[in-house]
Structure 1
């Protein structure tokens, strides 16, 4: 993977006013991520990508959402998106260093997780590996999460699997201030 450039050339500033306004809304004043700059160069892809955004306040807590995203990205070996999320959201989601490391190195049985979080991570793992849940996995998940949360989990896993495909397939260079996968 290239360490400095994407396989598809990203937009460079100055951005068209409509794109700049979209970047400003998403990034809240920070420079746009490479992923956004690549996608925004292709109107259809950018529109579809933005329409799938799941970073709004949904039925999951910030902590639950970030566990799902971090684990999905880790399983897909997408250091780019995992690192962005850890850098931006881990502290606000109250994820400890041990928990952040566990999203990459451990499964649902890591001792740092609550029972609900263990069910959540097992659900993410099952979707990643088999694209479904066994009755036992679903029952474990259902014991802690209602239907709206379960649907959000599926949507997050699918969307961030797509993000992983984009970031990995385009060989996006890691963002300068993003976290890096922990060393084994």
Structure 2
């Protein structure tokens, strides 16, 4: 569907590539963001596409289920996971993050990681709306092949 706008398709693919090759943010943190956004946005497509990937970066099925069921304070999640989830919820739900939440985030994450958390959340929120509004059919997952392919793209 994105290919209907070639300029946006190129930008989209570059962003995907960057998220898997150029972030300082650890892969596990990125996947916690994506799972949280897909849950909040009620985007089954995103969720399904990131189950295997999240498992490959150490997110257990029980932690995933806690996110899926919006049990964001569950013991299956680490303190860092819970902080990321709280931050992402604020990003998605409000125009500004509560000062207490932002102060805690600043104690744990570098400035670059904070920017990357916001950008990943925003990208996947936008993608979720693209997928849900256009009611895009869910593709069968291909394991980690698409991520591997995206990381090798030579985008001009």
Q: TM-score range by the shorter chain?
A: 0.7 to 0.9
Q: TM-score, normalising length from structure 1?
A: 0.71
Deviation at 1:131, TM superposition (A): 3.1
* Paired residue total: 141
Deviation at 1:162, TM superposition (A): 0.8
Deviation at 1:91, TM superposition (A): 2.0
Which residue pairs with 2:15 in the alignment?
52
Q: Which runs of 5+ in 2 are unaligned?
A: 143-156
Q: TM-score, normalising length from structure 2?
A: 0.82
Q: Confirm or deny: 8 A CA contact 1:116 1:141 kept in the other structure.
A: no
Residue correspondence of structure 1 range 13-162 to structure 2 within 5 A: 38-53=1-16, 54-87=19-52, 89-162=53-126
Partner deviation per Cα, 1:8-30 (whole Å, 9 max, x = no partner): xxxxxxxxxxxxxxxxxxxxxxx
More helix per residue:
2
Deviation at 1:113, TM superposition (A): 1.7
Cα separation, 2, equivalents of 1:139 and 1:153: 15
Cα separation, 2, equivalents of 1:148 and 1:108: 25
Matched, 1:175 2:139: yes
CA RMSD in angstroms, aligned pairs only: 1.8
Cα separation, 1, equivalents of 2:117 and 2:58: 19
Say which SS state the counterpart of residue 83 (structure 1) adopts.
helix
Runs of 4+ in 1 over 3 A off after TM superposition: none
Cα separation, 2, equivalents of 1:158 and 1:123: 12
Largest Rg, 1 or 2:
1
